[in-house]
Amino acid sequence: QVQLVESGGGLVQAGGSLTLSCTASGNILVINAMGWYRQAPGKQRELVATKSNGGTTNYQDAVKGRFTISRDNNKNTVYLQMNALNPEDTAVYYCNANLISRPSYRSSSYWGQGTQVTVSS
């Protein structure tokens, strides 16, 4: 059974930095893409950043230049370095992985449990 475990959330002042990490475990054959989404109170979940197995990255416009996504494929881990945080970045951040695992051998999407990021002004 595949699990995604996140860490690194917390409370930070505006202008500060945080790094989130997420590790996928289980009977994984290949991870095609990993990424981060976030959901603020009263809002829909939105894409923050994704990175494909080939290295292609995609960022939400609001975080470009401030957030950096990276992956350690040997560890099935994705990171999100967040700099210059502002109160609008406050949300629950969810890790997502699109991967193929046994016994299904099918591509499926998995989610972490979420980690709270709160930015105070």
Per-residue pLDDT of the chain (121 residues; tens, 9 = 90+): 899 999 999 999 999 999 999 999 999 999 999 999 999 999 999 999 999 999 999 999 999 999 999 999 999 999 999 999 999 999 999 999 999 999 989 999 999 999 999 999 9
HSE-CB at 10 with a 13 A cutoff on CA atoms is 11
**Residue carrying the six token digits 């998995």:** 110
Tell me what pLDDT residue 21 has.
98
Q: What is the C-alpha to C-alpha distance for residues 5 and 9, in angstroms, rounded to an integer?
A: 12
Could you give the 3-state DSSP secondary structure of residue 56?
coil
In this structure, are residues 107 and 98 in contact, taking their beta carbons and an 8 Å threshold? Answer: yes
Tell me what pLDDT residue 65 has.
97
In this structure, are residues 108 and 32 in contact, taking their beta carbons and an 8 Å threshold? Answer: no
Residue 29 has which token pair?
């054959």
Tell me what pLDDT residue 94 has.
98
* Positive or negative: CA dihedral 34, 38, 44, 48: negative
